[in-house]
Structure 1
Amino acid sequence: MNRSLKQPMKSIFVPVIPGGIMTILIFYLDYFHFELVEKFLLFAAFLIVPLVILLLRYDAKNTQQRVVYVLMQWFQYPAALLTLFSVMSNKMWGFEGTAIPGMLSLGWLLFTLLLGVYGLTTIVIAKGKAAEIAIGAGLVYFFIGGMWFTLYQYQVELFNANVATHALSSVHFHFSSAIVPIFIGALGRIMAKKSWYPWVVAIDIIGPLLIAFGMIFSKPIEYVGVALFACNIVVYTAYLLAYLRKNAFNMKVSFFLGLSSLAFYTVVVISIFYPLLKNMYSLTILDFIPIYGALHAFGFVLCGLIGWVYMVDSNQGKKIGKENRWVGTSL
């Protein structure tokens, strides 16, 4: 029995190993002459999205959702490779200024469309369940991130925004906009019903849109969106830490989810002390961007996803254990 329960824990991350290796190579090999924002986009394509897929569950009775889920599993890695080739053709292969980088980026756009379709079906099937709506919205935001990436690779200036803004918008939707609703939805699946939870979900869905709109048209709107979004993450992390403290979970679950929350609060502390640090050490915002990006992407997002995948796997193991004990008793 114990061996059968431990087996899924050992094998659950096998699908993301190739993407993890590619991510390490992209960040640490000098061969890849990419901008930092492009490295984070590839990090999302090769590692973040596969981890998100591990978190998803589909209704066995819904043929459309089941088919889309299988297609996502099949095409994720080929789409990630096309994303890599798109960036390489622009930065390394001498096709900058041509349509080739944009054409190659369409592979990722079509894959994120699958994520968006899956998200919409999740919202429809949810029938008002806030947790599932949050997860569905997060998946739809991946598609918006895919659109921004394609605009970036085609070098299209939209809404009088420069191309660099498109890249930042794509990163925003691949990480914060998509991941935070998924995290809050995952929390909603396991927590007791709270009257305030639907409001958190609603703000979490609206916040990314305000940020994206503000980045292009209005800084005050962006600040409002950031403030709402940050408050939502504070609510999520505070409740999550309290929940982990009160309930006995696998050590890996508590470690990674706790580390994810700690990374977020570290970003908050650095942001508070940024003016002081800037004056003391003559630093600029460009010096802090890699720190913010690493803490958010590798700390909050990556550790959080690993923790939630372990949580899902642990819950499945408990269900299998209960079923086997019931069978043994009945026999």
Structure 2
Amino acid sequence: MRKFVLIHFLLFMIIAVFSKEPWPFLLLTVAQIVYVPIALRFVMKRGDWFSSFYSYFAIPAYISIAIIQLFSPEWSAIPAIIYLAFTVIIALYGLTRFLRRGFTNIEEFSIDLGMMYIALGGGWYFAYIADIDTGFTPLLTWLTGIHFHYSALLLPIFIGLLGRLYKPNFYSFFTGLLLAAPMVVAIGITFSRWIELFSVLLYIVGLAGLIAIAWRTRFPTRMQKWLIVTSFTSLGLTIVFSLLYVLGNGFGLTSITIDFMLRFHGVLNCIVFALFGIVGWALCVPSSVYEEPNFPISRVKGKQRIEHLGDPGKHRGLVDNMNLYGINKVSPRILDFYENTIDYRLFSTVHWHAWFKPFAFLYSFISRRTEQINLPLHRNEVEMTGDILTIYDGIDGRKDVRAWIRKVDEQYAFVALYSSHQTNEGRNFMNIALPLPCSTMTGVLEMIEHGDDLQLTSRKTCPDSDAGIYLTTKLGKYFSLPLEEDFVVREEGDGSLTARHEMWIFSIPFLTIHYRIHKE
């Protein structure tokens, strides 16, 4: 790492000494030549495709920047497009990291999104060098390129590294604000002064929270804590002047000029935020706490007809014995329903939440073809009929698999393949696969007893829980979806059962299904 850092600093010093451009343009150059490469080193995983071919991508890009700065040739657009291609490759690396993991571990998502943002920085830089009319002045085009190198790449990576060390409950909220802010800034500059003002307020709230978290974080050394806390705190100062600039430029309330912002805001961000942050994290780079799950995944995909993959009658229920999950205190009727499911009639009332109904309508055109999660749009009670099939051994890849087919008016509503798996710690989870075209969605549910009631939930009750909803494709085996589901089953006074099935997307409720369950 030290040799790598020395080479990049030396290259920048050569460019700085012999550059033909005015000094403010070195604020972007130092990010391109020094800060971005070192920040990428913090998060690259040895042995993956990006680290293996990094030199082939990076060296031409860095040479291209040097050519532009040292010689300013008339054909500068050619080396600029080489650098743009490099930023696109970085963005693809961020995307592939995200696709392997999905919507989990927001600190890693922050790093991924920062790498994806850098392609926008490369695009704006190319537009400036190639003298493309973006609708803004050349200076503003160049400043937007700076924005996507510092605020949109370095800051998300620093936030992610901080989250690896310490991630309190409110970390996700403040991180979310700061991840959204770069795009809101770009939209505000383009369309509305009010949106631009709102974006600065997002930065202020998000940075205030991150600075507080940084102060409370335990770092390996005092020197590292001092450097990193200073780095984050400096942003708190510069964002205040950004607010004053927006109020002056957009509303005429202050007299902060673009020249002052270049000298104060630019230099402070370049030296204190970026340099202190890079040096601080280089002292000790925290490792990712994310560990890929290893539970079994169904091999059955949506194109296969379930009726051809199994026999009816061998299994009467979704579970042979609920003791497998340590469930023995709930109502005996609930145990009987799961162990003898075919003896029960199921009546459902579907409630799509108002905000989601337009999406549910559009999705209905897809669900009729996929025959999966194909639910009515109305709220009338309907009966779900169907059967339980035992899947032939070796087809699914999991153990003791049975398919529960549910239909509404002879149309498939759900085709769910039920199994279970046990973790190394001896915890058992219900493992439910929903075959989709070229993919499989897997719901891993934990069973929890609440007196006589039974709850099945995809929400994690502890950090090492497998619970969740995952999508398996050729791009990734355990892509964690931003979905959560929760079933609560209870026995009523007349001996019948009721169940409430709730689903959330990004923690927002979008679907509720009420069931009445009667034994035939």
TM-score (norm 1): 0.76
1:1-331 matched pairs, under 5 angstroms:
12-27=1-16, 29=17, 31-58=18-45, 66-90=48-72, 93=73, 95=74, 100-128=75-103, 129-158=105-134, 160-194=135-169, 196-243=170-217, 247=218, 249-267=220-238, 284-312=257-285
- Over the aligned positions, Cα root-mean-square deviation in angstroms equals 2.7
Compare the two structures and name the one with the higher helix fraction: 1
State the 1:157 CA deviation: 0.7
- C-alpha change, 1:256 and 1:73, in structure 2 (3 Å) is farther
The CA distance in 1 between the partners of 2:243 and 2:184, in whole Å, is 22
SS at match of 1:115: helix
Percent identical residues? 23
SS at match of 2:284: helix
Amino acid of the residue matched to residue 259 of structure 1? T
Detail structure 1 runs of 4+ shifted over 6 Å in the superposition. 269-274
SS at match of 1:312: coil
- C-alpha change, 1:241 and 1:44, in structure 2 (3 Å) is same
State the 1:74 CA deviation: 4.2
State the 1:198 CA deviation: 2.5
The CA distance in 2 between the partners of 1:255 and 1:241, in whole Å, is 9
State the 1:193 CA deviation: 4.5
Amino acid of the residue matched to residue 122 of structure 1? R
- C-alpha change, 1:126 and 1:44, in structure 2 (3 Å) is same
Amino acid of the residue matched to residue 76 of structure 2? P
Deviations 1:22-70 (A, max 9, x none): 323444x3x322134421221111101121122114386xxxxx11222
Uncovered stretches (5+) of structure 1, i.e. residues with no partner? 1-11, 61-65, 275-281, 317-331
TM-score (norm 2): 0.50
- C-alpha change, 1:272 and 1:197, in structure 2 (3 Å) is closer
Uncovered stretches (5+) of structure 2, i.e. residues with no partner? 246-254, 289-520
SS at match of 2:285: helix
Give the number of equivalent residue pairs: 279
The CA distance in 1 between the partners of 2:149 and 2:240, in whole Å, is 24
- C-alpha change, 1:260 and 1:116, in structure 2 (3 Å) is same
- C-alpha change, 1:252 and 1:74, in structure 2 (3 Å) is farther
- C-alpha change, 1:291 and 1:248, in structure 2 (3 Å) is closer
CA contact 1:37–1:168 (8 Å) conserved in 2 = no
- C-alpha change, 1:266 and 1:173, in structure 2 (3 Å) is same
